[in-house]
Structure 1
Amino acid sequence: MTAFKHRLPATLSTARLVLTAPKMAHAAAIAELCNNANVHKWIARLPFPYGLEDARFFIEQIVPSDEEACYGLILDGALIGVVGLHLLGDEPAELGYWLGEPYWGHGYATEAAQALIAAARSAGATALGSRARTTNMASRNVLRKLGFVETGKIIETDGNLEGQDMVLMSLDLTR
């Protein structure tokens, strides 16, 4: 998946956002926004409580890894969330995102994900997957707006959401 990751642009822009790799300058904002129980309850791979060391680990280890294509969402110079693709080898990449709670309900997740989906299509992806807790109607609605369709349900076997009912969704990029 390294080749695919390198075909993605380093920076994406939307009407309101700049999407770029999270940097150490964003660590404090990431820590502050992620150290929120209302954010944590929806995210499979997010420790809680979430501190500055967790943000540093994310920036230094996860962001540059071959398995992730991460973009910080920058609004008026401030990081408000992250969108990315978890690269799964031969399987379709999995779209994921989170926003700090003050930024919920303003369309930022949809806007950022649309930009990343377009970039993934241009980079050669033919499909994407995603998942959301069955009870996370806001995220499921974002995914539906993006064109994802529900393809099944599973019980999460990993991370913070282990044992939770999840809805699997997919997006065909060939249309």
Structure 2
Amino acid sequence: MKATSTPFLLALILFVSSWAISPIATAQSVAYKALLFTLYDSDFPVLKPDQITDLSKFQVLDTREKEEFAVSHLKGANWVGYDTFSMNNVAALDKNKPVLVYCTVGARSQEIGKKLKEAGFKQVFNLYGGLIEWANEDKPIFHEGYRTYQVHTYSKSWGIWLNKGEKVY
């Protein structure tokens, strides 16, 4: 083999290996989007992580269970729960200020968001893809005031969608 063909072969191997990995990541992304499409109501507003530049503009509500919230959450998030949710949990909130609800993937938070809308909250948004999508987009999550990479993924089956971060069940 000629010395000049070695760089070509190396480049070919790198190209093929990157191509082999890329379709898997793309397929997972497409599959995740398809899953979310089945979970969300088309008439309930969502915001994607890249559409949010400043969380402080929102009243951020974590609609997961307390154990999930204790692992990590969005900065400044207030825990309101899902199974234990009560309108008393949000009595002090301003109904005219935007609210961002989230959970692991966005299904539970959408349900809590609907309850908020029914109670007169004017602007309620569901975080598209939930905490999993937030983490996958390299957005910061926190534990006791410090950035962490741990994400409670609800279960191992939901954990397959987390590409960035440490899965906690």
Q: TM-score range by the shorter chain?
A: under 0.3
**TM-score between both structures, scaled by the size of structure 2:** 0.27
- Structure with larger Rg: 2
**TM-score between both structures, scaled by the size of structure 1:** 0.26
Q: Which has the larger share of helix?
A: 2
